[in-house]
Amino acid sequence: MDILPQLILNSIIAGAIYATIALGFNLIYGTAKFFDLGYGALMAVGGYSVFYFYKTLGLDLYLSILIGILITGTIGLLVYKLVYSPLRKRKSSGMVLLVAALGVLTALQAIVAILFTSQFQTLSKSAGLEKVFNILGGVITQTQLVTLAIGLVIMVTIGLVFKYTLFGKAVKAIGDDEEVSKIVGINTEKIIGWVFFIGSAIGGLAGILIGLDTGIEPAMGMSLLLKGVIACIIGGIGNVYGGVIGAFLLAFIENFGIWHISGEWKDAIAFAVLILFLLFRPHGILKK
Amino acid sequence: MEYLIHIAILISIYAILGLSLNLIVGFTGLLSVTQAAFYGIGAYTTAILLTSTGMNFFLAMIIGTIITAVCSLAIGFVLSKFRDDYYALGSFGFNVIIFSIFMNWQSLTRGPLGIPGIPRPSLFGFTFSENIWFLVLSTVLLILIYLVCRFIANSSFGRVLKAIREDEEAISAFGYRTLWYKLSIFVIGAVMASIAGSLFASYITFVDPSSFALTESIFILAMIILGGLANNKGAVIGAACLILLPEILRFVGFPDDVAAQMRQVSYGVILIFLMLYRPQGLVGEYRL
């Protein structure tokens, strides 16, 4: 097996996962304008919901995934209503929201760990028996192909919704100026609630896909979330396509960066990229 | 009794960490989440020098502070280009990068295996091997650092820091070079954290990377936010509260792994409630 095609494939797969995470995160950031770190824990919530319904209760896989997505969305909405919404009404600074979000992340992760122990779990029942495709000398599994497809579908859907529907236009308007949107009669509270529901659901889906591909653990969200945030920032925060471009760029840099050194350096490489971008191109590749 | 001394030593070490971060976050308003990195540099320098060369503890501690000062000067310089949430995010990045170095520079740090067998400090032939004497040592250092912090807070230097926090543009219009002030306080805070690290390494007699991860920085931040920002007493009170809390949870009778997670839940919930109902903490003089 040649290494170069596999590296490219690995980058594309990692890029698809980061892109999905970035899409949900970007949607929330673009509307509510703060770093919702609690989003990281929601990935674990999604993964573990499927683990519970699919493996423990033995429900159908697709049904479990649907339930998992709904649960994650609902928890995201609840957190917004209970924590972020009161803070935003009080016009708290971005730092207060960031610290509160840090609290949400820490607490949710630990609750998941109490319910399901902090062991590493796999979601798929057929680990190792999966269908494998050979492309250009590299290997890609069926789950990874599905992940890639889902990432693209979500991107296109969000792009279309933003462009053509009234809801999308309202979301964009709130992102531009919340006060004025309120004045022209947009029910901002309701729309932002929906944004949190949808964004969190996308995060949950990302967690489920990762669980099906490799596996889940309660603390998985932190590093994935940071990758998603980095992808958003280097791509252009608040911009739907920017996040996706950033995700693939980040994945390629990470995977090619560790070509000659140990894979453990991936996180350090990702943050080095972030810091370089913040210094030299703080608006990212695509400006909003 | 031995148990109470153990808790008191931990509180004194964390109180030093709290005081050090309070200078940066509380007095100067820079939301830095990378204090565990400097704590780790101090701990690792001490561990490596003590185990490989048998150097005196206090000399190793001073070398640790010099290395930390150089690193924090570079990191602080890069971070000084950012503001508010981006500052926090950039500081996340440096914590992850330094953590990766502890983890992956295996020839120096032994990676995840950690460094065992670090000797206790000794001075003029007297070894602080008994915990009660170690407590005396750590308390003396805590008092010294507390006095330095109090001196900084009341000095004209400290007043400029508070002015930077309130309105950086205004104070620079008066002709103060804010960059130098921000850099100096960042380095001073980092050096104090490095001293705490030296104490920690020689008290536990073992270091491994997991003690210096991003979550540790979040923990230190939670401590000073609970105690109250911009108040030195608050930093000590916060440290005492958050060290004692898990011990109380342990007495309630949770099994060990659940207790560890309950601790995380309570930190998270404390952060959320503080942000919602009392953003200035217990005795704080500044709210984020």
Higher pLDDT pick, A241 / B255: A241
* 3-class DSSP assignment, residue B31: coil
- For residue A75, what pLDDT is reported? 95
Structure tokens of B207? 């270091």
- For residue B38, what pLDDT is reported? 94
**Residues forming a β-bridge with A133:** A140
Structure tokens of B208? 């491994």
- For residue A126, what pLDDT is reported? 66
Each residue of B104-146: pLDDT tens digit? Answer: 888 888 888 888 888 888 788 777 778 888 898 899 999 999 9
Higher pLDDT pick, A69 / A90: A69
Mean pLDDT of B32-53: 91
pLDDT of B202 higher than 80 = yes
CA angle, B257 then B39 then B210, to 5°: 30
- For residue A238, what pLDDT is reported? 76
Mean pLDDT of A74-85: 93
pLDDT of A228 higher than 60 = yes
Compute the CA torsion angle A27, A28, A33, A38 (nearest 10 deg): -140
CA distance B140 to chain A (A): 32
Q: Which residue is listed with tokens 């930077």?
A: B164
First to last CA, chain A: 42
Higher pLDDT pick, A51 / A264: A51
Mean pLDDT of A74-79: 94
With beta carbons less than 8 A apart as the criterion, state whether A162 and A171 touch: yes
Higher pLDDT pick, A216 / B256: A216
Sign of the CA dihedral A195, A267, A251, A274?
Answer: positive
Radius of gyration in angstroms for the set of CA atoms belonging to chain B, rounded to a whole number: 18
Q: Return d(Cα A133, Cα B255) in angstroms, integer.
A: 46
Query: Which pLDDT band holds residue A206 (cuts at 50, 70, 90)?
Result: very high
DSSP state of B281: T
Percent of chain A with pLDDT over 90: 25
Please state the φ and ψ torsions of residue B231, each to the nearest 5 degrees. -140, 120
pLDDT of B242 higher than 90 = no
* 3-class DSSP assignment, residue B274: helix
> A271, B97: Cβ pair inside 8 Å?
yes
Q: Which residue is listed with tokens 């659901």?
A: A201
> B258, A114: Cβ pair inside 8 Å?
yes
Higher pLDDT pick, B252 / B113: B113
pLDDT of B42 higher than 90 = yes
Each residue of B210-223: pLDDT tens digit? Answer: 888 888 888 898 88
* 3-class DSSP assignment, residue A135: strand
With beta carbons less than 8 A apart as the criterion, state whether B171 and B163 touch: yes
pLDDT of B251 higher than 60 = yes
Inform me whether the C-beta atom of residue B254 falls under 8 Å from chain A C-beta atoms.
no
A111: closest chain B residue by CA: B265
- For residue B20, what pLDDT is reported? 93
- Pairing mode, strands B122-123 and B126-127: antiparallel
Poorest-confidence range of A240-249, A252-261, B236-245? A252-261
pLDDT of A1 higher than 60 = no
> B269, A34: Cβ pair inside 8 Å?
no
Average pLDDT over all residues of chain A: 86
Structure tokens of A266? 């991936």
Each residue of A209-219: pLDDT tens digit? Answer: 998 888 888 88
- For residue A61, what pLDDT is reported? 86
Q: Return d(Cα B87, Cα B178) in angstroms, integer.
A: 16
- Helices within chain B (DSSP H only): 2-22, 35-53, 57-79, 84-104, 106-109, 131-154, 156-166, 168-173, 178-204, 214-227, 232-252, 256-277
Mean pLDDT of A253-263: 80
With beta carbons less than 8 A apart as the criterion, state whether A24 and A89 touch: no
Each residue of A112-170: pLDDT tens digit? Answer: 998 888 888 887 776 566 677 777 777 888 888 888 888 889 889 988 988 899 988 89
Q: Return d(Cα B104, Cα B87) in angstroms, integer.
A: 26
Q: Which chain A residues contact residue B275 at CB under 8 A?
A: 83, 87, 92, 96-97, 99-100, 103
Q: Which residue is listed with tokens 């820079």?
A: B30
In 3D space, the residue among A277, A268, A225 whose CA is nearest the CA of residue A249 turns out to be A277
What residues contact residue A43 under an 8 Å CB cut-off, 6+ apart?
A: A21, A203, A204, A206, A207, A210, A220, A221, A224, A225
Average pLDDT over all residues of chain B: 87
Q: How far is CA B151 from CA B23, B143, B145, in A?
A: 11, 12, 10
Amino acid at residue number B29: G
pLDDT of A288 higher than 60 = no
Structure tokens of B98? 């330094």
Q: Return d(Cα B133, Cα B121) in angstroms, integer.
A: 10
- Top-confidence range, A129-133, B69-73, B167-171, B284-288: B69-73
CA distance B82 to chain A (A): 8
pLDDT of B287 higher than 80 = no
Complex-level ipTM: 0.84
Q: Return d(Cα A143, Cα A147) in angstroms, integer.
A: 6
> B82, A110: Cβ pair inside 8 Å?
no
Q: Which chain A residues contact residue B267 at CB under 8 A?
A: 103, 106-107
- For residue A127, what pLDDT is reported? 58
Q: Return d(Cα B203, Cα B193) in angstroms, integer.
A: 15
Mean pLDDT of B17-45: 91
Residues of A with CB under 8 A from a CB of B: 34-35, 83, 86-87, 92-100, 102-111, 113-114, 117-118, 222, 226, 229, 233, 262, 264-265, 267-268, 271-272, 274-275, 278-279, 282
Each residue of A21-66: pLDDT tens digit? Answer: 999 998 998 888 888 888 989 999 999 999 999 888 888 888 999 9
> A278, B81: Cβ pair inside 8 Å?
yes
pLDDT of A87 higher than 70 = yes
Query: Which pLDDT band holds residue B172 (cuts at 50, 70, 90)?
Result: confident
Q: Return d(Cα A121, Cα A116) in angstroms, integer.
A: 10
pLDDT of B271 higher than 80 = yes
Inform me whether the C-beta atom of residue B74 falls under 8 Å from chain A C-beta atoms.
no
pLDDT of B260 higher than 90 = no
Percent of chain A with pLDDT over 70: 97
Residue of B264, B278, B286 to mutate for A, most A C-beta atoms under 10 A: B264
Compute the CA torsion angle A75, A79, A85, A88 (nearest 10 deg): -130
